[in-house]
Amino acid sequence: MSELDFKGRVAIVTGAGGSANLGRAHAHLLASRGAKVVVNDLGVGPNGRSTHPADAHAVAAEINAAGGEAIANTDSVAQEASAKAIVQAALDRWGRIDILINNAGVGLVAGYDVVTSRDIERTLDVHLMGAIWTCRAAWPHMIAAGYGRIVNTVSGAMFGMDGTTIYGAAKFGIYGLTRNLAVEGATHGVKVNALSPGAATNSMGHGLVFQDPAVAKMFVERYPPTLVSPAMGYLAHESCAVTGALVHAGGGEVSARLIGATKGIRKSDLTMEDIRDNLAAIFDPAGMSMVGDPFSPTGRIPDAVADLMSPAPYEPQ
C-alpha cells in the first residue's frame, strides 16, 4: 500500500523543543513525511522551572538540516493571546494551518494535600487551558478551510495514579475537550482525537522514577518516543477514520481506551436500597456499550432526557 504523507500540510507541534521528548519525535516524523512544521516550545523544560530547558530553534534547525521545512516558535500555550501567536506564526509563514498536535506539558507528581496552589494553577494552565487556547486559535481557520486534524495528548494518569490528581484531572478535561470538539467538527471536515503515550522522555526523573536502574534502562530501550509518533501521525493524517477517539501507544503497541455504559437497572420507584442490592447488575460489564462511537462522533448511547433538549440562546458576558 502507498506510504502516508503530509505534503502540502502545515502542522504545529507544541512542547517540541526537548532533546528527547515526544514533541521532537512528532515534529521530525511530520516533517520527514512532507509537512511544514512550527516547532513550538516555551523553553522551560519538562518540570516548567527551566532546570532542563528546551530549545525549539535547535529542533527546527535539525529538521531543516535533514531536508525538511520548519520554523521555531517560543510563545506559551497557557494564555489566549500567546496561543493565537503560535497559530499566527504558521499563517504568516505558510498561509494555513492543517494540523495541531497539543503536546506541551509540565510534569508534576505530588500528593493532593501537599501540592502548592501555584503548581496546581501551572499544571491546569499548561495542560488543560493550553489545549483549549490552541484549539480555539486554530479552530476558525480549520472550519473555514473545511479541513483539520487535532491530536490532544492525554495520559493513563487520567484513570487514576498515586500523586497525579491534578495532572490526571487536567488530562481528563482534555479528553472531554476532544470528545466535544469531535462532535462540533464532524460536519466541517475537522477530526479531533486524543493520544495517551507511553515513552521514555526528558520528563523522566521529574515525577515518577524507577528505583531499579535495570528497569529504567529497559524502559528507555523499549519505549522510545519514536514508537509513539506513528500513532500521532495516523491520527493527524487526512486518511484518519476516527474522531473523538482515545488511543494509547507505547513500545510499539497501540490500543484503544474505551469508556462504556453497562445495562444497569431501571426502576420507577428507585430507592437507595435498590442500588445497594443490585450493585452486581449495575457494574456487570456483560453487554456493555461504548459511550462514544469513534467512527461517528455524534453516535452515542441514547439519553432520554438529553435527546429532548436543545441549546438555549447564548448570552455572552
Per-position DSSP letters for 35-46, written without gaps between them: -EEEEE--SS-T
How far apart are the C-alpha atoms of 21 and 14, rounded to whole Å?
Answer: 11
What H or E segment, with its residue span, contains residue 101? strand 99-102
Burial level of 279, CB count in 10 A (0-12/13-18/19+)? exposed
- Other beta carbons less than 10 A from residue 66's beta carbon: 11
Amino acid at 178: T
Active site residue 167: yes
How far apart are the C-alpha atoms of 159 and 145, rounded to whole Å?
Answer: 35
Beta bridge partners of 289: 261
Q: Catalytic pick from 112, 147, 167, 314? A: 167
How far apart are the C-alpha atoms of 73 and 11, rounded to whole Å?
Answer: 12
Q: Cα 108 to the chain's mean position, in Å?
A: 17
The set of cell numbers assigned to 303 is 439519553
How far apart are the C-alpha atoms of 103 and 23, rounded to whole Å?
Answer: 6
* Residues with Cβ within 8 Å of residue 43, at least 6 apart in sequence: 17, 50, 53, 54, 55, 56, 74
DSSP 312: P
Catalytic residues: 167
